[in-house]
Structure 1
Amino acid sequence: MNPYMTYPAKIKKITKHTDIDYTFFIEKIMDVKGGQFIQVSVPKFGEVPISISDYNDELIELTIRKVGRVTDAIFNKNVGDNLHIRGPYGNNFDPEIYFGKDLIMVTGGTGLAPVKSIINYFHKHLDKLNSFKLISGFKSSKDILFKESFEKWEKNMDVCLTIDTPEEGWTGNTGFVTEHVSKLDLSNIDNVGVIMVGPPPMMKFTGMELSKLGIKDEQIWVSFERKMSCGIGKCGHCKIDETYICLEGPVFRYDKTVKLID
C-alpha cells in the first residue's frame, strides 16, 4: 500500500471565523484523536499538514489559515467539493492524564484549534477534573476563533478570553496570556496539569511564568508542530536533533521540547 495515497473526503460545511481562518467540516473517513494531524492535498497545488480541531461520528473539523498556495486552493473549495486526505499522523492528547487534576489550558491564536476537541471533551465531563481553567489569547477581537464555542464554554467553565491590547467596544480581558498566567492562584501545585499551544515565543514565555508559579516542566504538555511535510518520518523536514516531530509528536511533554535545539 502506498503510504502517500490520499482519499477524497467531501466538504459538508464551511464556517468563516476571520478573513483568513475557516473551519472545513469534512466527512469522517478515518478514525482520529484530538492532537493528531492529517495531510490535506489539492491536486496540482500540493498538500499541507492540518491539525484536527474536533470530530464526531460523522465529521472531522479542520481549522485552516489561508497563508499560501495550497491553503489558497483549499479556500476556493465549496460545500460538496472534495479535499484529499491521508493520515491521521502523530500522537494525541490523552484526557486520562488529567483526570482528578487541576487542569490549566493556555492557548495563543490558532493554537486553540488543536485542543478544541479536548476542551469540548472536558466541557461534557467536568466531573473527571478537580478544576479547569482556560486562558486563550488573540491579537485582536477580529482574530478570535470559535466565538460560539466560547459562549458555550463560559456557561460552566472558568474561561479567560483575552486580546493583546485594549480596543474600542471591547469589554473583555486584555493583555498577553502570560499576564493572566502570572495571576493564577494555585493551592496544590503537585496536582496541576497544563496544556499550552501557540506560537513558539508564546509557549516559551508562558513556560517561564508557569515555572515561577512552581509548576515543573514535566507537568506541562504542548503541541509542537513545525515544518511537517511527509508525515511518516521520511523527508526529514521536521527533524530536530534525532527527533522526528511527525512521528514522536506533535504532542510532547514540555521537558522534552525544551531540550530540542533547532
Structure 2
Amino acid sequence: MKNNPYLPEKMKILDVIPQTDIDITYRVETDMKPKNGQFVQVSIPKIGEAPISVSDFGDGYIEMTIRKVGRLTNEVYTLKPGDSLFIRGPYGNGFPIEKYKGKHLIIAAGGTGLAPVKSIVNHFYRNLDELKKFDLLTGFKSPKDILFKDEIEKWSKRFNTILTVDKGTDDWNGNVGLITEYVPKVEIEDMDNVEVVIVGPPLMMKFTAQAFMQRGVPKEKIWVSFERKMSCAIGKCGHCKIDETYVCLEGPVFNYTKAENLID
C-alpha cells in the first residue's frame, strides 16, 4: 500500500476511441480492479487533475470516457496510444450489482451518465442469465451527442434498449423526447423485484426518479450516481461535501432514500 494516498501512478494509454466531437474514450494499462461506478483522479503534471468515471474495465486495463471541457481535458486530447496519464484511485462506492442479480434491472442514463453505468451494462450483456429482465433507457441532447453507438446497437440485440434524443435532425429516424417520456413504456411486472439505476444531470435524475416512483417503484429500489468536482477524493478537503455527506467517500453511488435529501 502506498504511503502517500495522493500519489498517482503513471499508466500507458493503450487505445484512444473517439465518441463525439468532444468525447473520447481512453483505455489505459493497469492492474487496477475497480467496482462498477467508481471513479479515478486523472492528472497531467503542471496542468491539473480531475475526477473521471471508470466507464469499463477488464484484465489489465480500465477505460475512461473524457469530455473536453477545460485545461486538463484539452491537454488529454493531445495524447495518443503509447503516451501516459497519471491516475490514482479507484475511489468511492460503486453500484451493488450483486443486489441486482435475479431482479428486473432498469438503467436510465442521460448524456455522459451512460459512461458510469457502461460497465454494468456490459457485465449483464455477458451474463444476461443473472437477471430476470433488463431494460436500458438512454437519452442524449441530439444525434451527434450519442456515446457508444456501436455498443448501443450491440446491446439492443440482446435486451430492450430505448435510445432517444431531446431534439432530432432531418436524418434522424429514432425516438425523440426526454427519458421521462419513455419510463411509462417499460413493462414492470413486479415492483418488489425491480431495481432502477438512474445516472445523468441532477434534474434528469430527479424527474426520472419521480416518474418511476409515480409508477409504484419504491424509492429504496432506486440508485443514482452524483457527478461532483472531487478534489482530494479521500474525504479530507470537503470540496465535494453536501451537508455532512462526503460524496467521494459515501458516494458517488447512493440509494435514493439518501440521495433525495442531498441538495446543494
Seq. identity, %: 57
Show the counterpart of 1:124: 126
Q: CA deviation at 1:227?
A: 2.1
Q: 1:230 aligns with which of 224, 229, 232?
A: 232
> By how many angstroms is 1:177 displaced?
0.2
Give me the whole-angstrom Cα distance separating, in 2, the residues matched to 1:3 and 1:21.
29
- 1:188 aligns to 2:186 (yes or no): no
Q: Superposition pairs for residues 1-262 of structure 1, below 5 Å? A: 1-262=3-264
Kindly state the Cα deviation for residue 183 of structure 1 after the two structures are TM-superposed: 2.7
Mapped contact 2:13–2:80 kept (Cα < 8 A): yes
Q: Which runs of 4+ in 1 moved over 3 A?
A: none
TM-score by length of 1: 0.98
* Contact persistence 2:226–2:251 (CA under 8 A): yes
Most deviating of 185-194 and 60-69: 185-194
- The secondary structure found in structure 2 opposite 1:55 is strand
Whole-Å Cα distance in 2 between the matches of residues 188 and 177 of structure 1?
A: 21
User: In 2, distance between residues paired with 1:46 and 1:185?
Assistant: 46
Partners of 1:42 and 1:227 in 2: how far apart? 17
Specify every segment of 5 or more residues in structure 1 that has no aligned partner in the other structure, as ranges.
none
* Contact map agreement 1:9 1:27 (CA 8 A) in 2: yes
- CA apart distance, 1:28: 1.5
DSSP 3-state at the match of 2:227: coil
Report the CA distance between 1:2 and its aligned residue.
1.1
Corresponding letter in the other structure for 1:103: L
The whole-number CA distance in structure 2 between the counterparts of 1:101 and 1:225 is 26
Whole-Å separation in 1 of the counterparts to 2:39 and 2:195: 23
Question: Quick check: 1:9–1:29 contact (8 Å CA) kept in 2?
Answer: no
One-letter amino acid of the counterpart of residue 125, structure 2: H
Aligned residues: 262
Q: Distance in 1 between matches of 2:58 and 2:149?
A: 19
Q: Cα RMSD between the aligned structures?
A: 0.9
Give the drift of 1:23: 0.2
SS at match of 1:182: helix
C-alpha separation in 2, matches of 1:210 and 1:217: 9
Partner of 2:34: helix, strand, or coil? coil
Q: Which amino acid aligns with 2:47?
A: F
Query: The residue matched to 1:115 in structure 2 has which SS?
Result: helix
Task: Please report how far the alpha carbon of residue 184 of structure 1 lies from its aligned counterpart in structure 2 after TM superposition.
Answer: 2.6
Cα distance in 2 for residues equivalent to 1:84 and 1:187:
46
Task: After superposition, give the CA deviation of every residue in 1:88-141 in whole Å (9 maximum; x if it has no partner).
Answer: 100111221111111110000000000000000000111111100000000111
Q: Deviations over 1:4-51 (max 9, x none)?
A: 111100001000011110000000232212101110000111100000
